[in-house]
Structure 1
Amino acid sequence: MTRRDKWADPAPLEINRPRLPWWTLLPDGVKLVLAPVALVIVAVWVTAKAVRLAWYYPTTVVLGLVGVGTYWVNGWVLGGLVLVVGVGSAVWWRQDPEGFHTRVRWARTEVRRALVYAVQWRTVMRLTSLDGKARGREYLPRLRRTRSDWWRDTVHVRMVKGQAPEHWEARASGLAHAFGARSCHVRVTRPGSLALNLVHADPLARVLPVPALTEESAVDLRRVSIGRTETGKPWRLRLLGGQHLVVGVQGAGKGSILWAVLWALAPLIRSGAVRLVGIDPKGGMELGQAPELFARLAYDNGPAAVELLEQVAADVRERAGRYRGVQRWWSRDTGEPFTLLVVDELADLIAYQPDRKLRERAQAALQTITSQGRAPGFGVLALVQDPRKEIVPFRNLFTTRTALRLDEAAQVDMVLGDGVRARGANAHEISEHTPGVAWVKEDGRREPVRARAFYPTDTNLVELRHYVTGTSATVVPFPDKVEWDGEAA
């Protein structure tokens, strides 16, 4: 190295120039093509967001546009309109609260969706482990439309791929607490989608009086109305073609369901289109309140009650033999009555009876009636307190099972079927102050229904007896003086 090279000026330092975006490096011709495409993509994205906002919040969007337009025209008109609407709504709510809540459901829906669910949806899904992760990417269940009533919010959800309704059922309690609800029921709406019923109040808290007695033509044995569901619809039992088991602890309201059924059938009982056969092992403390309704009635669990069961089983077989090759299903055109067997305290007949032979005969007769009685026009309405298998070994023969207030959580699945409690049927949590409230599970339907039966009072039972017998219920006054053999007492 020469002396000149050693003392030569060092190489100039390179200045760090800012890196330009990649699209600035593209040729001008390509830029001219990509610019309109980018504008179209942005316009489509903005339009989609606007459509989505209008879809989930139509009332808010419409009122916002109307407010902006009104203010644009004249500001004081908007203030007057708001004042009139506010005062009118307050008066409406005061005079007709139920109608107000029904009509303004749309406004409540959008407010609760925005302030209760949308604002914390991502956080709740993460904390309840209902999100999904794959290849470092997070997938969240999609919050769809909601519907808010005064007592319940229905939130529709699109599940993450690979999830099952059982994942949501296992976290239903956590979802209820997260969104400030009393309970959460999971209901499948279609493959990949479900609805969360988040309950805030109890619409069945009030006692339901029995309706007025109807005409005979208005009673349909396939849709006998005995109460009301929590959605406000009639609670209907399918007596024709169904067998019914009602389970509940003492004071749960089994009598309400029993007499609500008989009240609804009163026009048919009076005309002879329905025949009642009853067994009351409690000595008639229940069915003895209106014995005129029954064609045959037994007041114990002894030989008389067992013979009555065996007679009904024989009638089932005899009628089925006559229908063979003629018709497959009973109808009123046959001229024969539909027979309903009412058994109060079923366990006294088939479990607590000390005589083993009588107990076995009663079980055999009941199994015949419940398994073969649907087609020839025989139904069973059985009431029991203990739902264990050793008490009622043939629970599966009852097509409709009703769970009133129960003692233990495990009993819910005993009565309604496996997995029903996980779907929200918490019959063991029914309040003792709401007798007649029950969860109902019908074969062929996945979801249970919560309902409350009408409550017939003692006065209603007196009215029922006189209605069926065709007598008047006039009160005869007690005489002031009674004479025996010409002497005043």
Structure 2
Amino acid sequence: MPLVNVIRGERIEPAPFNVRTPYLKVPLWLVLVGWTVKYCFRLGVLLVKHWPVTTPALLLGWLYLRFDWYGPVVLVGALAVVGGAWFLAHRPSFERFAGYPVLGRWRRWTYRRHWLPAMATSGLAVTFDGRAVIPVLKRVRCNDAADVLTIRMVTGQIPDDFAKVSERLAHTFGARACRVAAGARPDLVTVTLLRTDPLVATVEPFLVADVPDFTALPLGRREDGKVYALRLFGTQVLVVGATDAGKGSVIWSLLRAMAAGIASGLVQVWAFDPKGGMELAAGRPLFARFACDDFEAMADMLEEAVATMRERTARLRGKTRQHVPTIGDPLIVIVIDELAALTAYLTNRQLKDRVKAALGVLLTQGRAVGVHVIACLQDPRKEVLPFRDLFPTRIGLRLTEEAHVDLTLGEGARDRGALCDRIPRSSPGVAYVVLDGGPTPMRVRFSYLTDNDVTDLAQTYGRLRPVATGGEAA
């Protein structure tokens, strides 16, 4: 027969067990003590978590209770005097250790106010088990041009997910541009939001070093205000840009950085200007080899470079893995102003094949023995430049199409912030650089040398040498 749950007075069919929730009487004083401990613990956690705000507040409160209003006023006045003196005496250290950390805390609070809707509308929020899970903003660092956000990603996300919506994030937070890079840990991503453009002004030429440092040749300014230095050792450089994008700024900045080595004989520059010499002819005294209108001479020069490379390889084999330039065995830098004129637009099929064969060997084997190629062109398509992937260092100036960005700097470079197609025509010399092994593009502006600067450079550091090949004398 049906049983009755006598404890609750409910009829249950069947009711094999009579269960009652145990009732424990707790004294009121014990409840109050428990609540006090609980909320004191939470208050302590809150004070520690937000110490940049709570510590000054507690200090000012204690000073007020101890010395009345004189205490807080004297403290604030002393800090203002010390801070002002520090700012006037050495502004960079003040901004680094005082100004930017405080600004970063303030910016972190402003970002967190709009963080949830920003993540949801940009597609970075993830729905799991019926609730929204969003990336966590861990830290904000500031400088005079950008905010650097360190974000902990949701499980299953990768930095490319943020790179694909970088433009949305820039517009959402009112930034001029957005860069995305992998963080220090696998679960972190770094998002750089640029507030201002430090590359608006033209970059003046740098002073010529007495001895060039081939691991760090100063060529321009980075968007964070630091000097952009090119590591020439162990690399080949490809420069791609539309007409009037500033390819000349890259070439002349590089030649200026190596000028002292050219004058001493530590560096030999072999220059190719297939456009008739309009760009490079002004610097002929700087060149050990120069050719501008004789394509057969250009092919001969490239094959001579291959022969020099092979001779060095045989001589250095088993002794060293990186050639060290000397006056007797100088660094050879091959500068080609318009590579497409030699690889795609040359009508003589035999000469074209010779050029391609020589360039292929130089690009694959020349770096270790001190033979480097600096090549410029306008069209980065594969049919124009079949060995594009043999250039570890690539520089993308202003480009005419979105597709050219990834062709120049690598797949996904535009999503990661390399907006070469949006560089204005009024900013020649502004470029995005991708180094071998680093997928994040770096925005730089190369120094600008006027015609008078080029003439003075050639007259001051040039070495007039006769050319045994078919090229013009330099």
With structure 1 as the length reference, what TM-score do the two structures score?
0.82
Structure 1 residues 66 and 288: CA distance shift in structure 2, 3 A: farther
**Mapping for residues 46-445 of structure 1, pairs under 5 Å:** 46-54=43-51, 58=52, 60-72=53-65, 73-75=67-69, 78=72, 104-115=99-110, 117-189=111-183, 190-216=185-211, 219-300=212-293, 302-332=295-325, 335-445=328-438
Matched letter for residue 26 of structure 1: L
Question: Aligned partners of 2:119 and 2:143: how far apart in 1?
Answer: 23
State the 1:227 CA deviation. 1.2
Mapped contact 2:253–2:449 kept (Cα < 8 A): yes
Change (3 A) 1:409 1:365: same
Supply the AA of the counterpart residue of 1:111. W
CA-CA distance at 1:28 after TM superposition: 3.8
**Conserved? CA contact 2:219–2:447, under 8 Å:** yes
Give the counterpart letter for 1:52 in structure 2.
K
Give the letter aligned to residue 445 of structure 1: G
Tell me: CA distance 1:198–1:304, structure 2 relative to 1, closer, same or farther (3 Å).
Answer: same
Taking the aligned partners of 1:159 and 1:40, their CA distance within structure 2 comes to 35
Distance 1:283 1:167 in 2: 47
Q: Is the 8 A contact 1:165 1:186 kept in 2?
A: yes
Give 1:329 shift: 2.1
The residue that corresponds to 1:487 in the other structure is: none
Q: Deviations over 1:349-394 (max 9, x none)?
A: 1111111111111111111111110111110101111111111110
**1-structure distance, mates of 2:78, 2:437:** 51
Aligned-pair distance for 1:332? 3.2
Partner of 2:24: 26
State the Cα deviation string for residues 22-70 of structure 1 (Å, max 9, x = none): 99942449996x987766554444333332222xxx3x44543444344
* Residue 87 of structure 1: how far off its partner (Å): 9.6
CA distance in 1, matches of 2:427, 2:319: 47
Aligned-residue offset at 1:167: 2.0
Structure 1 pair 332–31 and aligned structure 2 pair: CA distance change class (3 A): farther
Change (3 A) 1:155 1:265: same
Deviation at 1:327, TM superposition (A): 2.8
Contact 2:266 2:327 in 1 (8 A): no
Distance (whole Å) between structure 1 residues aligned to residue 128 and residue 76 of structure 2: 50
Give per-residue Cα distances to partners, 1:295-338, cap 9 Å, x unaligned.
11001252111111111112111211222233332113694101
Is the CA contact (8 Å cut-off) linking 1:301 and 1:349 kept in structure 2?
no
Give the Cα separation in 2 of the matches to 1:323 and 1:91. Answer: 58
| Kept in 1: contact 2:238–2:394 (CA 8 A) | yes
Query: How far apart, CA to CA, are the structure 1 residues paired with 2:394 and 2:178?
Result: 22
* Most deviating of 329-338 and 347-356: 329-338
Contact 1:222 1:241 in 2 (8 A): no
Deviating more after overlay: 78-87 vs 315-324: 78-87
Q: Could you tell me how far apart the structure 1 residues matched to 2:26 and 2:230 are?
A: 76
Which 10-residue stretch deviates more, 232-241 or 368-377? 232-241
Task: Rate the CA distance shift 1:274–1:40 in 2: closer, same or farther, 3 A.
Answer: farther
Question: Which amino acid in the other structure matches residue 164 of structure 1?
Answer: I
Q: Structure 1: how far apart are the matches of 2:127 and 2:35?
A: 31
Q: What does the per-residue CA deviation read over 1:156-176, in whole Å, with 9 as the maximum and x for residues that have no partner?
A: 111111122222222222222
Q: Which moved further from structure 2: 182-191 or 99-108?
A: 99-108
Q: Distance in 2 between matches of 1:442 and 1:126?
A: 33
State whether residues 301 and 353 of structure 1, in contact with CA within 8 Å, keep that contact through their aligned partners in structure 2. Answer: no
Moved more, 378-387 or 39-48: 39-48
Cα 1:278–1:334 change in 2 (3 A) is closer
Aligned mates of 1:166, 1:101 — CA distance in 2: 32
Q: Kindly indicate whether the alpha-carbon contact (under 8 Å) linking 2:203 and 2:447 is maintained by their aligned counterparts in 1.
A: yes
The 3 A distance-change label for structure 1 pair 397 and 31 is farther
Q: Is contact 2:266–2:326 with CA below 8 Å preserved after alignment?
A: no
Which whole-Å CA distance do the structure 1 matches of 2:253 and 2:237 have between them?
A: 14
* TM-score, normalised by the number of residues in structure 2: 0.85
**Deviations 1:382-412 (CA, angstroms, capped at 9, x unpaired):** 1111111111110111110000011111111
Partner residue, 1:7:
none
Instruction: Tell me the amino acid that sits aligned with residue 147 of structure 1.
Output: R
Counting aligned pairs with the same residue, the percent is 37
Is there any run of 5+ residues in structure 2 with no aligned partner, and where? 1-8, 10-19, 465-474
Contact 2:262–2:463 under 8 Å retained in 1:
no
> 3-state DSSP class of the match of 1:104?
helix
Residues 392, 61 of structure 1: alpha-carbon distance in 2 compared, 3 angstrom cutoff: farther
Structure number with greater CO (CA < 8 Å, separation at least 6) is: 2
Aligned equivalents of 2:225 and 2:54: distance in 1? 30
Could you list the per-position Cα deviations for residues 427-481 of structure 1 after superposition, in whole angstroms to 9, with x for gaps in the alignment? 111122221111111111121211111112223223312321489xxxxxxxxxx
The number of residues matched between the two structures is: 443
Cα 1:207/1:69, change in 2 over 3 Å: farther
Distance in 1 between residues matched to 2:22 and 2:40, nearest whole Å: 22
Aligned pairs for 1:461-472 within 5 A? 461-469=454-462
